[in-house]
Amino acid sequence: MKQTLCSITSNVEVMPGIHLMWIEAPDIAAAAQPGQFITVRCGDFTLRRPFSIHQSSPLTGEDPGKGEIAILFKVTGKGTLWLSQRKAGQKIDILGPLGKGFAIAPKSKNLLLVAGGIGLAPLIFLMQQALSQHQITLIHGASTAAQLHYNNCKLAAIGYQRVQFIPVTEDGSTGQKGKATDVLPDFLDWADQIYACGPVGMYKAMTQMSLGANRSKLKLRKCQVSLEVRMGCGFGACYGCTINTKKGLRHVCRDGPVFELDDIIWQEVRI
């Protein structure tokens, strides 16, 4: 974990209200693992804002050189509005990498990634790390085709054309009509492990799938989910992101943000 002033390399509004920002941060790029996050001091606001690490260049373990990280974020308040207005060359105060990320079992070959909306953010970094040795299927659910960020970023240029991409839209404008969880059961027999990031409603739907056989398959694969919650400090000192799990109280910033789906007591989660 390191706090540093970093230069913004680029800041592009890839979709209305959604920005992709690249930041020159070689130390963080060299150390970050998929599922971890950074916090950013946004202007004069007291609380830092947390953001999943969306991509890293170069990848962990490679020559860091002028290493960069990317964050993908939606403008939802004054802090993210301030960040969206930053220009290339300006510096921002970031802290990271923070938290515990995704884990891939040594024997796993087929990885199923499930994204709900902007929840795609941390899954792309996982895809970056895993693609050379694993088969990957990505289910991305959004309200409309225009909100499928996977279609808007030029990921094919770095090998992502080998990923099986399953788009799902609520209005049926592309792919299957419905939600990401509607498609999930079709891939449970194929997947060795499942990774998800999205709204709490998506996670609750995953734990309440009506078919008992599907629930058994989901549990067997030890589905890992990334929680997006409000945080105060980002490293476990303020208790502001505490959740209740079957193993007791846990801090999302320090013990997560990645947890086993079945470990969380979802009826008590308030995000």
Percent of the chain exceeding pLDDT 70 equals 85
DSSP code of residue 230: -
| Closest-CA residue to 33 (of 96, 76, 86, 95) | 96
**CB of 257 closer than 8 Å to CB of 37:** yes
Q: What's the CA gap between 227 and 207, in Å, rounded? A: 15
| Closest-CA residue to 32 (of 4, 57, 5, 3) | 57
pLDDT at 171 over 90: yes
pLDDT at 60 over 50: yes
DSSP code of residue 48: P
DSSP code of residue 270: -
**CB of 203 closer than 8 Å to CB of 175:** no
Q: What's the CA gap between 156 and 60, in Å, rounded? A: 20
Cα dihedral across residues 181, 186, 187, 188: positive or negative? positive
Q: What's the pLDDT at 179?
A: 94
Tokens for 108?
Answer: 């796993």
Residues whose CB is less than 8 angstroms from the CB of residue 208 and which lie 6 or more positions away in sequence, other chains included: none
pLDDT at 57 over 80: yes
Q: What's the pLDDT at 150?
A: 63
Domain 112-224 has CATH 3.40.50.80: yes
No. of helices (H) and no. of strands (E), the chain: 8, 16
Q: What's the pLDDT at 211?
A: 47
Burial class (CB in 10 A: 0-12, 13-18, 19+), 46: exposed
Q: What is the CATH number of domain 227-271?
A: 2.10.240.10
What is the tens place of the pLDDT at every residue in 119-167?
999 999 999 899 889 999 999 999 998 888 765 454 544 456 678 999 9
Which CATH code of 3.40.190.10, 3.30.70.380, 2.60.120.460, 2.40.30.10 fits the domain covering 2-98? 2.40.30.10
Domain ranges for the chain, please list them: 2-98, 112-224, 227-271
